[in-house]
Structure 1
Amino acid sequence: MQIEFKNVTHSYESNNPLSGLGLADVSCKIEDKAFTAIVGKTGSGKSTLVRHINALLKPTSGEIKVGDRVITPETNNKNLKPLRKQVGMVFQFPESQLFEDTVEKDIMFGPKNFGIPEEEAREAAHKMIKVVGLSEDYLDRSPFDLSGGQMRRVAIAGVLASDPETIILDEPTAGLDPVGRKEIMDLFKEQQQNGKTIILITHNMDDVANYAETMMVMHDSRLRAVGTPKDIFNDQDLLDKKLISLPQSAVFAQKLAKKNFKFESLPITINELTAEIKQQIHGE
């Protein structure tokens, strides 16, 4: 399901000429079944952009095409359930949205809300609890008796249980330790490999380097750059303007370059950096 923005502008309180501008004439495509990362400073327009995809926000001008569905300023709130079933959203700290008295009921809530019969929703809950790395024993427990990391997995299982085609992740690893972050990111990479479109909003450049295929850079409500992470992280103009920061491997490579290592382009992952170092040492 391809997603396309065409000259999308969004003004908060659009009838007020002094209202804040959330998006300014954004045009882009997010490819079907791809893993796309959206980066930028706080307030750059990242979250405003993705909230248009399932019509949580409507454009002030322009249009968004999500598969066969077109969202315009005139789009009303009727019949949006099919769209919102197609586009699942994992908000930052999703565990704060848990509210049922058992894990099973919480995971079932989304599917049932979209009209999935109760027994099918229960089957989805039993399947997805295992997908997120927890056993079925957790289903009868209160979500509020779980650890923070376990609660987050339950919240993610609730999104996956509705079987969305596209999954939007708004800082999904915020507050997690490195092991927990990797487990969650591996989970979503696996979802992409199984045919889902993944859209990641993040400040963590290592996650972008390790998982994303396409990278979009937002700044001051505008889309400033689109490309592969390798190309974007090697764009000196973006670095000079401080529109992006570098993943740790690239930062380390810059330090090595001051000690006579030579890189045609900055390696952006540990594997790339290791291969470059081995090659140069072996060559010597």
Structure 2
Amino acid sequence: MEITFEHVTHSYDVNSPTANLGLDDVTLKIKNGLFTAIIGQTGSGKSTLVRHINALLKPTSGTITIGDRVITSDTNNKNLKPLRKQIGMVFQFPESQLFEETVEKDIMFGPMNFGATETEAREAARTVIKLVGLDESYLTQSPFDLSGGQMRRVAIAGVLASDPETIILDEPTAGLDPVGRKEIMSLFKDLQVKGKTIILITHNMDDVANYADAMAVIHRGKLIAQGFPKEVFNNQELLKNDLITLPKSAEFAKGLMQQGFHFDKLPITIDELGTEIKHQLNGD
């Protein structure tokens, strides 16, 4: 399901003296089936942008096309449920949204809210609990008796249970240790490989380098760059103006350049860096 923003502007408090632009004339295409990262400094407009995708916010001007559905400033809230079923959103610290007495009931809530029968929702819960790396024995437990990492997996399972076509991740690994972060990001990469469209908001540039197929950079509500991660991370104008930070591998490569190594483009992953170093040491 392709998502297209055309000249989208969003103004907060539009009729107030304190009005400010959350988005400023953004034109962006998010291709179906790709893992796309949206990055930018705090307050840049990343979260504002993705909240337009399931019409939690609506544009002040411009249009957003999601599959065959067009969202404008005049779109009302009627009949948005089918759209919101197609777009799953995992907020930062999603475990804070758990509320049911058992894990099973919490996971079942989303599908039943979108019209699934109790039997269908229970079957979905059994399927997705395993998908997020937990076994069925967790279904009868209280979510509040679980560890923080397990609670996050349950919250993610609740989003996946409705089988959305597109999944939006708003800093999904915040607060996790490196092992937990890798497990969660690998889960979403696997879902993308199986056909889901993944949209990631993050401040972690290593996650962008390791998992994203495409990326977009938002600054003060404007889209200032988009493309393949390796291209964007090698954009000298963005780097010179401190509008992006580099993944650790690219930072390490910059240090190696001061010791005589040469890179046509900075490698952005550990594998790319290792390959480049090996070639240069072997004189390839």
**TM tier relative to shorter chain:** over 0.9
TM-score (normalizing by structure 2): 0.99
Between the aligned partners of 2:186 and 2:264, the Cα distance in structure 1 is 29
Aligned residue in 1 for 2:51: 51
Counterparts of residues 185-264 of structure 1 (less than 5 Å): 185-264=185-264
Aligned residue in 1 for 2:181: 181
Aligned residue in 2 for 1:73: 73
Q: Deviation digits for residues 226-248 of structure 1, max 9, x if unmatched?
A: 01000000001000111100000
1:275 aligns with 2:280: no
SS in 2 for 1:218: strand
Q: Deviation digits for residues 129-180 of structure 1, max 9, x if unmatched?
A: 0000001000000000000000000000000000000000000000000000
**Unaligned stretches of 5+ in structure 2?**
none
Between the aligned partners of 1:89 and 1:17, the Cα distance in structure 2 is 32
**TM superposition shift of 1:18:** 3.4
Aligned residue in 2 for 1:25: 25
1:4 aligns with 2:4: yes
Aligned residue in 2 for 1:163: 163
Counterparts of residues 110-129 of structure 1 (less than 5 Å): 110-129=110-129
| Aligned-residue identity in percent | 72
Between the aligned partners of 1:280 and 1:242, the Cα distance in structure 2 is 29
**TM superposition shift of 1:86:** 0.2
Amino acid corresponding to residue 172 of structure 2 in structure 1: P
SS in 2 for 1:133: coil
Q: Deviation digits for residues 102-140 of structure 1, max 9, x if unmatched?
A: 000000000000001110100000000000000100000
**TM superposition shift of 1:208:** 0.2
Amino acid corresponding to residue 173 of structure 1 in structure 2: T
Counterparts of residues 75-114 of structure 1 (less than 5 Å): 75-114=75-114
SS in 2 for 1:138: helix
Q: Deviation digits for residues 14-65 of structure 1, max 9, x if unmatched?
A: 1225312100000110000110000000000000000000000010001100
Q: Which runs of 4+ in 1 moved over 6 A?
A: none
SS in 2 for 1:168: strand
Counterparts of residues 127-138 of structure 1 (less than 5 Å): 127-138=127-138
SS in 2 for 1:283: coil
SS in 2 for 1:119: helix
Amino acid corresponding to residue 72 of structure 1 in structure 2: T
Amino acid corresponding to residue 151 of structure 1 in structure 2: M
Amino acid corresponding to residue 201 of structure 2 in structure 1: I
**Unaligned stretches of 5+ in structure 1?**
none
C-alpha RMSD of the superposition? 0.7
Aligned length: 284
Between the aligned partners of 2:178 and 2:256, the Cα distance in structure 1 is 24
**TM superposition shift of 1:250:** 0.2
Between the aligned partners of 1:228 and 1:16, the Cα distance in structure 2 is 39
Between the aligned partners of 1:98 and 1:244, the Cα distance in structure 2 is 34
Between the aligned partners of 1:17 and 1:48, the Cα distance in structure 2 is 20
SS in 2 for 1:32: coil
**TM superposition shift of 1:283:** 1.3
SS in 2 for 1:57: coil
Between the aligned partners of 2:130 and 2:266, the Cα distance in structure 1 is 38
TM-score (normalizing by structure 1): 0.99
SS in 2 for 1:104: helix
Q: Deviation digits for residues 227-273 of structure 1, max 9, x if unmatched?
A: 10000000010001111000000000001110001111100000000
Between the aligned partners of 1:195 and 1:165, the Cα distance in structure 2 is 8
